[in-house]
Amino acid sequence: MIDLLQNDYAVTNLAMYGDELEEMVLRAEYLPYLANGKVKYLLLSGGGNDVIGDSTLARCLNLFDPDHTNPNQAAYYINEEFDAALDRIERLYRRLSAQVRKMSPNCKIVVHGYDYAIPRPDGPYLGVPMQSRGLYPNGYEKLCNAIIALMIDRFNERLKRLPQQNVIYVNLRGTAKTERGWFDELHPTAATARKLAARIKKVLN
């Protein structure tokens, strides 16, 4: 999305692949750029790696239960580890919001909670961690999709609770629509990326 936005806006990209939100907030590499008070927006995409990094996702899921195979029962599989992760992420976002508000009161932070990712069989980001808990995307596709969708919904709800005086939340859910809209489990195709960027542009314009 940043590559696309850079075609229309003066964007300085500080992102590093694989960064967790805590690393971003501790390093606070964005603050020196805000010191002159002229930056209008801080575009922030963070929190996903805090949940899918290492074995975190697997720890957030309960073991497969043959009595809970209906997609409507997705909530059964999301345990307190995920809630704890969301608590940490929300605290970090609030800390970042306070940092930016102190350094540059007029700067707005634009955040999003991702689109509905789709786990794939043996997929390294979602599929493998889910399979380690007995949740196989090729055998229980709708259930696995529903679990990830519910996790993304809960993450988005946390972002919507952030201080609105300097945080603008953008809802990207439902953009890709099908697996064909994804390059892999987490990254969109070029066509989907253009649609995602268009949603961000509505805010920046």
Per-residue pLDDT at 19: 84
pLDDT band at 53 (very low <50, low <70, confident <90, very high): low
pLDDT band at 76 (very low <50, low <70, confident <90, very high): very high
For the chain, list the domains and their CATH numbers. 2-204 (3.40.50.1110)
Burial class (CB within 10 angstroms; exposed 0-12, middle 13-18, buried 19+) of 83: exposed
**Region label for 47, one of left (φ > 0), alpha (ψ between -120 and 50) or beta (otherwise):** left
Per-residue pLDDT at 17: 77
Contact in structure between 18 and 45 (CB atoms under 8 Å): no
pLDDT band at 131 (very low <50, low <70, confident <90, very high): very high
The β-bridge relationship of strands 108-112 and 167-170 is parallel
- Cα–Cα distance measured from residue 156 to residue 113, given in angstroms and rounded to the nearest whole number: 5
pLDDT band at 1 (very low <50, low <70, confident <90, very high): confident
Task: List pLDDT tens digits, range 158-174.
Answer: 999 999 999 999 999 99
